[in-house]
Amino acid sequence: MSGFKHSIKVPSKYKKVAAILKTAFESKKSLKSLIFEQKKHVKLRDMQALLTHYTDNQRAIDAAIEKCQILEENPRLSRELCITLVTELIYHRKDLKGDSKPVQTVRAYRKRIMKALGDENLAKKKDTKPRYVRINTNIVSIADAHAMLAENWYKKDCPPFENYDEFLKAVETLEENEYMVDMHVDDLLIFHNKQKYFWATHEYTESKKFMLQDKATCLAAKILNPPIGSIILDMCAAPGMKTIHLSNLVKNQGTIYAIEKDAERYRLLRSMTKKVKCKNIKPIEADVLTITPEECPDVEYILLDPPCSGSGMQNRMCLNSEVDDAQRLQKLGGLQIKLLSHAMNFPHVKRIVYSTCSIHKEENEDVVKKCLYLNPTFKLLSAKKALRNKWCNLGDRQYDFGKKCLYSRPEKDLTIGMFIAIFEKLSNSEEVA
């Protein structure tokens, strides 16, 4: 006789997550937008964490489910609910609530699932990136930030690094009670991986003295390198992390036009920049493709971080099918070319940084190639030289300009995946030549 209690219902959290996955698989909607629709759900954070664990480990989980044949042997168990329960059991809570039939079924397969995954597979999926904490110099100076930390933390004594590999080794050998300063971004502090939750809930973070920002996303503003008092355009600004960093770099002086099309994200941008005491940011709710040079006069420096596949940021809840879909990449590439070409039409622009959190050439090198062809009054600068030649991962060498572009790779650089290219307007003499 079966030990299953058919009258026991599946917990609502599992059903809701399974429903979100089903919609994502069938309608091609992004998980980010689907989870945002659940913003009033009491277990939103828990559901988001569970889905993040799945997207971080999707290939391994899908392969394990197929290998242990749980769906074939239990045809009434839906694929989406099975994925939800396996993720919860192995990667998230490490346990399942209730005694419903689906829950008991997945529990009974635990050993087979673990064997299919393999201990090595599980170990590989652990996040080893450090905790990056950037100082918001609109509120606290770099010197004062170090003084604040001195009470409870040891600052790792690092001599000037001879090369990039020495720096990475120092990051990987950080002790739990230590921190160090990044070698490229002066206001970026690096803590041990185990301090992620500590800083996520710390009063300095809540008060916006410190910003939780991955190093790769800091590089875009750093490489743009606008002088104090510059007129800057951030074309796709929300939620505002790069915009705020730009404000810090120019000492809260000059003007930063921050454009955002989506109404909800625009409200978030305004809220964020107000909380961090930015005085030089002018938010504008509009489609940036409709913005004319007259509406944002005298712009000299432009940061373009356009909508992209997010393939370098799997922890942002992207399904593999979302980031690898060829038709979607082609559509995104077309939009990115339009946006970058629009940036190049601003008459006083001196420098443009184009960045994506994508690792696909369709959104990166292909966009750069097309825009250089369409806009011959611009040239590409070396992103590696902008980092004092202390960087390893560059663009695809199959492109004649590839070595001038920069990638950050999670497995090497201990950051999210990102692409950066720097464009500079040709001088009159260069145009004649």
Which residues define the annotated binding site for S-adenosyl-L-methionine?
260, 287, 305
Cβ neighbours for 114, distance < 8 A, ≥ 6 positions apart = 90
Alpha-carbon gap, residue 212 to 208, rounded angstroms: 9
Alpha-carbon gap, residue 31 to 309, rounded angstroms: 12
Per DSSP, the residues of 320-380 read HHHHH-HHHHHHHHHHHHHHHHHHTT-TT--EEEEEES---GGGTHHHHHHHHHH-TTEEE
DSSP summary character for residue 11: P
Residue with tokens 């250089």: 372
Per DSSP, the residues of 200-241 read HT-HHHHTTSEEE--HHHHHHHHHH-PPTT-EEEETT-TT-H
Instruction: Give the CA-trace dihedral at 248, 337, 299, 214, to 10 degrees.
Output: 0
Chain-centre distance of CA 234, in angstroms?
17
Alpha-carbon gap, residue 283 to 118, rounded angstroms: 50
- At 260, phi and psi to the nearest 5? -145, 130
Tokens matching residue 187: 């206001």
Note whether 204 and 189 are within 8 A (CB).
no
Note whether 429 and 362 are within 8 A (CB).
no
Chain-centre distance of CA 284, in angstroms?
23
Note whether 90 and 113 are within 8 A (CB).
yes
Q: Which of 278, 357, 371, 405 is catalytic?
A: 357
- At 47, phi and psi to the nearest 5? -65, -40
Tokens matching residue 154: 């040891």
**Element (DSSP H or E) covering residue 82:** helix 79-87
User: Binding site residues, as ranges?
Assistant: 260, 287, 305
To the query of whether residue 357 is one of the catalytic residues in this protein, the response is yes
Tell me the chain's radius of gyration from C-alpha atoms: 24
Alpha-carbon distances of 58 from 48, 91, 128, 320, 326, rounded to whole Å: 15, 11, 18, 7, 19
Cβ neighbours for 57, distance < 8 A, ≥ 6 positions apart = 87, 91, 125
- Catalytic positions: 357
